[in-house]
Amino acid sequence: MSARFTIKKLGAQGDGIAETESGDLFIPFTLPGETVTAARERDRAMLMAVLEASPLRIDPACRHFTECGGCALQHFEAAAYRQWKRDKVVHALKGIDCDIGELVACAPHTRRRVVLAARRTETGMLLGFNRHLSPEIISISECPISLPEIVGALDRLKALADLICATTKSFRMAVTVTGSGLDVAAHESGKLGENQRRIASNFVMAQGFARLSIDDEIIIEPRKPVVMFGSVAVAVPPGAFLQATEAAEQTMADIVGAHLERAKKVADLFAGCGSFALRLAAKSEVHAVEGDAAALSALDRGSRFATGLKRVTGERRDLFRRPLTFKELNAFDGLVFDPPRAGAEDQSKQIARSDVPFVAAVSCNPVTLARDLRILIDGGYTLKSVTPIDQFLWSPHVEAVALLEKPRRRR
């Protein structure tokens, strides 16, 4: 049963919040000041109709918006949307004195990696994204955040999903645009028989895809999927972490590189395949620390085949279980760390005790970033700047790069 509500503000996930006698009610795809009807279920509600629209409401860029759960904020006027995104970082860092820059915007049609959902049904194969807060799959024919190489291949990817499907359940297909073609990594699609493997391999070859892997096992790799980190070509392993857009990655690398340009020896913690390390190595010696063996191996191969780099070393290490100690860190005069969403609390405590003079913190979670920055500031670091970056367009997520300095003690 639907009821009438007035939206007071936006929540952290981009949902409109209506105040009710029983508490806050979250209604997706609404804006502050709007009057709507919605069907309530506990503390959430499904939008039924907008009775009085906000002047900030605009037409969405995609026909699938509100059905597909990939985007939350296409209906939000651009300038107001950007301010809301920046404010997420401002609010997370409340109580920390710092200069927070303007949001660096990312254009539509630039996302190079998406994770699609697939399932075989009685009427055929479904390929798309999950409905908002639902396991139901919405088949898509367009996607304004994704690179044209992905959108243009949706029908072929759907056909490939049908060929590799060996389960009655839904499964995931991560699709990445690389310099040598699409890298397709399926997960939980079921065990393929020999005939299925052969047919799928022939299809991948015919379509010009770079690689097909299933649960990290390479089924066929006509060409190694290569990405460029600055001037260095890296063949990435199946399931490798990459920043969502090349433009955002380059922006982050430029900010970090400028901050660490005076450093002769740099530590790159949570280094992945080397998006920071291999760029920084153009001017500095770099020690890359990463827990994933395949990613570290890709970084190492990239550095070995590159020309014009300073010395690059690698270390496989679980930084959550065994962070670099402050004594180890004191061998460096520059440091960048880019942890997962959980942040790097224990590693930050060691950095705080060190006297590394230049530190760059990269984060996709302003809340854990704020916690880690407070640890560093309490350890004597000065926070020079924070730059929010909107590489997750029309989603509630925001990236940020924080730059810190500390006077180096004489030894």
**Domains of the chain as residue ranges with CATH:** 2-57 (2.40.50.140), 84-107+242-405 (3.40.50.150), 113-226 (2.40.50.1070)
SS3 241: coil
Residue 68 bears catalytic tag: no
SS3 236: coil
Q: Give the model confidence (pLDDT) of 299-332 as tens digits.
A: 999 999 999 999 999 999 999 999 999 999 999 9
The per-residue DSSP string of 118-177 comes to EEEETTEEEEEEEBTTSS-EEE-S--TTB-HHHHTTHHHHHHHHHHH---SS-EEEEEEE
338 in a known ligand binding site: yes
| Range 47-56 contact pairs with CB under 8 angstroms and sequence separation of 24 or more | 48/2, 51/4, 54/7, 56/31, 56/80
Other beta carbons within 10 angstroms of residue 404's beta carbon come to: 26
Q: Give the model confidence (pLDDT) of 156-169 as tens digits.
A: 999 999 999 999 99
Tell me the C-alpha distance between 345 and 368, whole Å.
8
270 in a known ligand binding site: yes
Tell me the C-alpha distance between 280 and 358, whole Å.
13
pLDDT at 410 over 70: no
Token reading at 173: 């297909």
Other beta carbons within 10 angstroms of residue 205's beta carbon come to: 12
Nearest to 316 by CA among 362, 267, 265, 270: 270
Which pLDDT score is estimated for 281?
Answer: 99
pLDDT band at 408 (very low <50, low <70, confident <90, very high): confident
Range 236-256 average pLDDT: 96
CB 130 within 8 A of CB 137: yes
Q: What percent of the chain has pLDDT over 70?
A: 99
Q: Which amino acid is at 97?
A: D
Q: Which of 68, 98, 106, 364 is catalytic?
A: 364
333 in a known ligand binding site: no
Other beta carbons within 10 angstroms of residue 82's beta carbon come to: 17
pLDDT at 411 over 70: no
305 in a known ligand binding site: no
Per-residue 3-state assignment (H helix, E strand, C coil) for 14-76: CCEEEEECCEEEEECCCCCCCEEEEEEECCEEEEEEEEECCCCECCCCCCCECCECCCCCCCE
Token reading at 240: 């490798």
pTM above 0.85, yes or no: yes
Q: Give the model confidence (pLDDT) of 98-148 as tens digits.
A: 999 999 999 999 999 999 999 999 999 999 999 988 999 999 999 999 999
Token reading at 104: 């660096």
Burial of 158 (0-12, 13-18, 19+ CB in 10 A): buried
Q: For all residues of the chain together, what is the average pLDDT?
A: 97
pLDDT at 409 over 80: no
CB 350 within 8 A of CB 329: yes
Range 34-42 average pLDDT: 95
